[in-house]
A and B are shown apart, each in its own frame.
Chain A
Amino acid sequence: MFPADRDRLQPGFVLHRRDYSDSSLLLEVFTGEHGRLPLLAKGAKRGRAPSAALLQPFTPLLLAWRGRGEVQTLVRVEPAGRPVALVGDALYCGFYVNELLTRLLGRQDPHERLFLFYQMVLQELAASRDLDTPLRRFELRLLAELGYAVELDRDAEQGLPVQPHLYYVYSHERGLLPALSPQGDGAVSGATLQCLSRGEALSGSQAREARRLLRALLAPYLGDRPLRSRALFAARPRRPAGT
């Protein structure tokens, strides 16, 4: 007999998909229990009820798969809710989050907590006009879940709590240090750091500082290949202010 949990449906999201053949899709899937894994969806584009429409990024799914080897085969898929309604800039941010996960997660490492954080950031991106605060929160959580947690609430030299009116720099070797000058390379205000470590909303200039800081924090793990979704976001046509 088959083991009882064969074909057990597990919550997951499609991070990315590509055509594998005329009728099949190759998926990159993110689940809590198995982390990131590739799945082959045979016949997803054909048949009486093709699953291609369902197998899209940002749709909560229940998935079951079988097989041995690196690429296993999807055997069942059901919707686990409505697609997260990401439109416009929020959609570009969704691609960015997916690209981060595709680039930074090893395959088949369980990430139960990160899976929850992922669902939270998608919901926040869909619900809020402020895209920076949820993205920065997710990036910090991602670093921590990967084992690269950063401490942003006290300076690493003296152990003193961050002061909102002072400026700091982050060194990959030594941690958070007081900045020599506020205009210095990569200097971040204590107020921004406090917002980040408390998960509070970032104002306009803080959002820019935080974006720069997180970009520097992620850089060593991303390597030399630039993030394409970041480039797309930067190149996107902006709407005139107020619209």
Chain B
Amino acid sequence: MSNPGLLNELVAALRCLPGVGPKSAQRMAFHLLQRDRDAGRHLARVMAEAMERIGRCRQCRTLSEHALCATCASPKRDASLLCVVEQPSDIAAIEQATDYRGLYFVLGGRLSPLDGIGPEELHLDLLRHRLHEGGVSEAILAISPTVEGSATAHYITGIAEGSPVRITRIAHGVPLGGELELVDGGTLAHAFAGRTHL
């Protein structure tokens, strides 16, 4: 059986989505073409527009269609708190799970010299400027507890030097509902070092 070219192209294009293999890409393509062309057209329109119009917020570097994202522009957010995260998806996770009302800064990754990711790639100069221009009293580092995350946190502590900003780090430890014996030694050691008074 030989597929027409455009159909092949659609299936191949859908495979750029994370977790989508050849089988599911084919299913998606057939579904849209056979059952829901309107949804397909809508998807194509929104996709094209989003790819053109969504850029980075100039203040926090999250994904935004405006020069200043909704969070940065909101007068209801507490501008004295700045939460530093790796990815825009981390913001979504924090917004859904916590009642944090401060602002954010998105690094886009963590320092990893062996991957060629240095301070420029993470726009740490922009963060330095933000910490030193005044207005921020606490910067909360919500960075993965990996060795690269720890190097990143150390670097940020360094660039905050001389500013009045207090640098804090979210607690690392045993996952809720997790069993102690299944937790790796490094996590357990972190959890012990970061124990809190009851």
* Chain A residues proximal to chain B, CB less than 8 Å: 15-16, 18, 22, 48-49, 51, 53-54, 56-59, 79, 82-83, 86-88, 91-92, 94-96, 98-99, 102, 227-229, 231-232, 235-240
Please name the residue on chain B nearest to A16 by beta carbon.
B114
A51 to B154: give the CA distance in the assembly, Å: 25
Check A56 against B146 for contact (C-beta < 8 Å): yes
Check A228 against B158 for contact (C-beta < 8 Å): no
Known: A48-B182, A53-B186, A232-B119. A237 touches B155 (CB 8 A): yes
Which of A82, A227, A228, A235 is in CB contact (< 8 Å) with B189? Answer: A82
17 new A-B contacts, CB < 8 A, other than A59-B186, A91-B150, are A51-B184, A79-B184, A83-B186, A92-B113, A94-B147, A95-B113, A98-B114, A99-B113, A228-B114, A228-B116, A231-B118, A232-B111, A235-B119, A236-B155, A237-B161, A239-B158, A239-B161
Interface residues on B, range: 20 to 34
A53 to B147: give the CA distance in the assembly, Å: 10
Closest Cβ of chain A: how far from B21's Cβ, in Å? 11
Check A237 against B184 for contact (C-beta < 8 Å): no
- In the A-B complex, list the 6 residue pairs whose CB atoms are closest, starting with the nearest: A237-B158, A229-B113, A228-B113, A53-B184, A49-B182, A16-B114
A15 to B114: give the CA distance in the assembly, Å: 9
A79 to B113: give the CA distance in the assembly, Å: 25
Chain B residues with CB under 8 Å of A227's CB are: 113
Check B185 against A82 for contact (C-beta < 8 Å): yes
A193 to B21: give the CA distance in the assembly, Å: 59
Chain B residues with CB under 8 Å of A228's CB are: 113-114, 116, 118
Chain B residues with CB under 8 Å of A59's CB are: 186
Known: A56-B147, A58-B147, A83-B186. A235 touches B118 (CB 8 A): yes
Chain B residues with CB under 8 Å of A56's CB are: 146-147, 186
A182 to B163: give the CA distance in the assembly, Å: 43
B-side interface mostly: helix
Let me know if B18 is at the binding interface, CB within 8 A: yes
Check B114 against A229 for contact (C-beta < 8 Å): yes
Chain A residues with CB under 8 Å of B161's CB are: 237, 239-240
A92 to B119: give the CA distance in the assembly, Å: 13
Chain A residues with CB under 8 Å of B87's CB are: none
A230 to B106: give the CA distance in the assembly, Å: 25
Which of B19, B113, B154, B185 is in CB contact (< 8 Å) with A88? Answer: B154
- Which one of B118, B182, B186 has the greatest number of beta carbons of chain A within 10 Å? B186
Chain B residues with CB under 8 Å of A236's CB are: 155, 158
A239 to B19: give the CA distance in the assembly, Å: 44
A231 to B189: give the CA distance in the assembly, Å: 31
Check B159 against A237 for contact (C-beta < 8 Å): yes
Closest Cβ of chain B: how far from A155's Cβ, in Å? 36
Let me know if B26 is at the binding interface, CB within 8 A: no
- Which one of B18, B19, B147 has the greatest number of beta carbons of chain A within 10 Å? B147
Check A54 against B186 for contact (C-beta < 8 Å): yes
Check A231 against B113 for contact (C-beta < 8 Å): yes
- Which one of B111, B150, B184, B187 has the greatest number of beta carbons of chain A within 10 Å? B184
Let me know if B151 is at the binding interface, CB within 8 A: yes
Check A92 against B151 for contact (C-beta < 8 Å): yes
Fill in one digit per residue for B10-48: 1 if any A CB lies within 8 Å of its CB, else 0: 000000001100000000000000000000000000000
Check B19 against A22 for contact (C-beta < 8 Å): yes
A91 to B158: give the CA distance in the assembly, Å: 14
Let me know if B49 is at the binding interface, CB within 8 A: no
Closest Cβ of chain B: how far from A125's Cβ, in Å? 13
Chain A residues with CB under 8 Å of B113's CB are: 92, 95-96, 99, 227-229, 231-232
Check B187 against A95 for contact (C-beta < 8 Å): no
Known: A53-B186, A58-B147, A235-B119. A87 touches B154 (CB 8 A): yes
Check A95 against B118 for contact (C-beta < 8 Å): no
A18 to B110: give the CA distance in the assembly, Å: 12
Check A54 against B111 for contact (C-beta < 8 Å): no
A164 to B115: give the CA distance in the assembly, Å: 41
Chain B residues with CB under 8 Å of A231's CB are: 113, 118
A102 to B115: give the CA distance in the assembly, Å: 11
